[in-house]
Structure 1
Amino acid sequence: MNTTIAIQVLPVTASQEELLRIVDSVIDYIASTGCNYQVGPLETTVEGDYEELLDIVKEAQLICIRQGADSVKSYVKIFYNPKDHLLTIDEKTKKYR
């Protein structure tokens, strides 16, 4: 594991219900990858290898379109550190729980 991403997908849809259904599909996909992840109120954080996480970002866009979104806006933050120990999601947040 050398990368952490935070991804927020915003499918453009006709209704809030449709948006939530599509976002749930994206989260289900992320869960299916086997990567460690944490869902937050505005974004989902995922840990893994750089290339694998970039593929997840790409697939998240495609899922939105396949699920019926007219278009999708995404906000992605990437922390890549191939040389040092990467703090895990749990290490970064455990003192706040």
Structure 2
Amino acid sequence: MAVINVSFQVLPQVPDGNSYAVVDRAIEVVQHSGVKYEVGPMETTMEGELDELLDIVKNAQQACIDAGAKRVMTIVKIDYAPQGVTMEEKVGKYRNAPR
């Protein structure tokens, strides 16, 4: 299967309102997965095979529940092409751009 990109955003409902701490648990799942990833201010993007990336999203949702969220809404974006898709081809030219 081709290497693709999956981006996701978890929106945990947290009784105490501290959703950042719960989102951090979801990001830890990605960090420990071994896939290439980038954390952004609104979502995390990963690179790998679809089945593996979707399993990571499921595990990230469960991590939010385990961290105290009563409910987790998740937005998922998938960029698939049979020949593969990389993060570098999309954003590499912007990484060292002057600000």
Which category of TM-score, normalised to the shorter sequence, fits these structures? 0.7 to 0.9
What is the alpha-carbon distance in structure 2 between the residues aligned to residue 45 and residue 15 of structure 1?
27
TM-score in terms of structure 2 length: 0.86
Residue in 2 that maps onto 1:85: 84
TM-score in terms of structure 1 length: 0.88
Residue in 2 that maps onto 1:8: 9
Amino acid at match of 2:12: P
Paired residue total: 94
Unaligned runs of 5+ in 1: none
- 1:3 deviates by 1.9
Q: Which 4+ residue blocks in structure 1 deviate beyond 6 angstroms?
A: none
RMSD (CA atoms): 1.3
- 1:2 deviates by 2.2
Unaligned runs of 5+ in 2: none
